[in-house]
Structure 1
Amino acid sequence: MAKRNLGIVSKILSDVQAPASEEPKSEEAIKKDTSEEKKEATKNRKLKGFYLTMENEVRLKELQMMYLKKGIRVSESELINRALEDFYFKHKNG
């Protein structure tokens, strides 16, 4: 009888699963989550001492394309230097 009741309980529990947020996490799962976050953080490309997010890389490529349409070839480094100079002079005169 006890085996039968245990089988019924385990069947009910297997049918009803807790949402992912309520399930307890093991230490290995927590370590895996943090290592994935670190990997995601390192996906940013470093250029001239700055880490570029994916959005900023897209903006940088769009600026390069804009200049290419005008017939001006500009490297990523030049664009970043121009942006830094512009930022510096705006805040210096601010």
Structure 2
Amino acid sequence: MIDNIPASDIPASHISWKRIEEAQIRIIREALRLRYKKDSKLVSEYAGYVKNLRQLDDQEEYIKSTAIMLFPNEDAYNRKMARYRKWYQNKKGPSC
């Protein structure tokens, strides 16, 4: 089981579309537990991600191509993660 291992230490061969789907569902559940509304941007976007992923013909290829598009190298990854952290740092809670 690799649930408690930091994401950066998980080999790419252990990451599947199903694990990504499960992570997205956990995010939705946690947001709802924190009293985010079902129609909040966070919940709506992640529900859309799950729906789109389930409808694809080749989920594994989609995951790979999306990851490469979003994070072509480590520098791009670090910049985006810093931007996400900054954006979420200013959010107080379920009103998002």
TM-score bracket for the superposition, by shorter chain length? under 0.3
Q: How does the TM-score come out when normalised to structure 1?
A: 0.27
Higher relative contact order, structure no. (Cα contacts within 8 Å, ≥ 6 residues apart)? 2
Structure with more strand by fraction: 1
Q: How does the TM-score come out when normalised to structure 2?
A: 0.27
